[in-house]
Amino acid sequence: MKAVVKYALEDGSTEVRDVPIPKIGPTDVLVKVDSIGICGSDPHMHHNNVSYPVEVPLILGHEFSGIIDKVGEKVEKFSKGDRVTAETHAEYCGKCVMCRTNNYHLCQERKGYGFGVDGAYASYVKVPERILHRVPDNVSLEEASLTEPLCVAYNLVVNNMTVNPGDVVVVIGPGPIGILSCNMAAIAGASEIIMIGTNGDEKRLEKSKEYGATTTINSGKTEPLPIIKEKNEGYGADVVIDAAGPAVTLKLALEAVRPEGTVNKIAWGPKPINYSLDKIIEKAITLRGSFSHTWDVWEKSLKLLEKGQVDLSGLITHQLSIEEWERGFELVESKEGIKVVLKP
Ligand SMILES: [Zn+2]
Ligand SMILES: [Zn+2]
């Protein structure tokens, strides 16, 4: 089968290769991949510009959907022909304290698709039954391939911080995770959602209005802080989500949040920061992170898709064949595309 393989820890070392179809074990299924979402982290992997460990050679891709082609003899709840999507946790130990407390996404032995285990930029992918999820009949497989970023936003907004009805929420970074965080904040009852982007983000800022943003600011043209500081009697936002990542956006987040407010960092920023974090003390801020998601978050996110409370199809700007992966990466990097879906 054809697959997009990262073959060395060097910039640009990715190519389409012919590789064997994965062999499944007794508790696995073989999924015939229908759609793959390009994650913002995939081009970073291609350029070898990530702060987490990567094992090569490796098939990229962790956002996908497809149809079950084969089931292992011990698989109980799924059959050939089922429409499915899957969590990214291809492997975890299942025995440690994190695994036993429904925090298996934080297991030391966790290996993610397209990072530690062969991913889904391919015709077929092997998936253990324990991380499979059924796609509702009324949800397209293209849309279902983007369940993963929705789960990231769900886990961030619902489980790893509190958004109360009436809150002022600031989201920095109108990429897919930022836009879906707007959507989740709106569902959680936020009254004002301010999305901040920069030059080049114009299309994404517009899109975020369809996903719950009540105000958008291009920080390349307008200074965002005075606008945010008008909220809550001059104190600023109740919560700030940093979905951008660089040092400068965390700085803005710490300034924009009100005393006793929460800043949640969802975007990676591999470079060190060069400023004081004393604002955290001065304003008694809660600064926390959010990583990945778990089975329950997937089921709830798929329910949101089934009931039409979230429409992921609105984020899909391009559909390309898997051979055009590099063009897809360019569309994501140039911000011309929001979500690009590849078809094997
Ligand atoms: Zn991703
Ligand atoms: Zn574990």
Residue extents of the structural domains in the chain: 2-148+293-343, 161-289
For ligand 2, the distance from its centroid to the CA atom of residue 91, given in whole angstroms, is 9
Q: What is the per-residue pLDDT for 314?
A: 97
* β pairing state of 63-71 and 28-37: antiparallel
pLDDT tens, residue by residue, 154-205 = 999 999 999 999 999 999 999 999 999 999 999 999 999 999 999 999 999 9
Relative to the alpha carbon of 146, which ligand is closest?
1
Q: How far apart are CA 39 and CA 267, in angstroms?
A: 12
For ligand 1, the distance from its centroid to the CA atom of residue 50, given in whole angstroms, is 13
CA-CA-CA-CA torsion sign (2, 4, 8, 12) = positive
Relative to the alpha carbon of 36, which ligand is closest?
1
Q: What is the per-residue pLDDT for 270?
A: 83
Give pTM, 2 decimals. 0.97
3-state secondary structure of 259: strand
**DSSP code string of 113-147:** BTTTB--SSBSEEEEEGGGEEEPPTTS-HHHHTTH
For ligand 2, the distance from its centroid to the CA atom of residue 100, given in whole angstroms, is 7
Nearest one of 343, 307, 321, 312 to 66, comparing CA atoms: 343
Q: What residue ranges of the chain have pLDDT lower than 50? A: none
Relative to the alpha carbon of 145, which ligand is closest?
1
* β pairing state of 132-134 and 124-128: unpaired
Q: Are 195 and 186 in contact (CB under 8 A)?
A: no
Same CATH topology for 2-148+293-343 and 161-289?
no
For ligand 1, the distance from its centroid to the CA atom of residue 152, given in whole angstroms, is 8
* CATH architecture of the domain with residue range 2-148+293-343: Alpha-Beta Complex (3.90)
Relative to the alpha carbon of 104, which ligand is closest?
2
Q: What is the per-residue pLDDT for 183?
A: 98
Q: What is the per-residue pLDDT for 50?
A: 82
Relative to the alpha carbon of 99, which ligand is closest?
2
Q: What is the per-residue pLDDT for 16?
A: 97
For ligand 2, the distance from its centroid to the CA atom of residue 96, given in whole angstroms, is 4
Q: What is the per-residue pLDDT for 53?
A: 76
Provide the CA 286 distance to its chain's centre, in angstroms. 22
Structure tokens at 192: 């004002």
| Fold (topology level) of 161-289 | Rossmann fold (3.40.50)
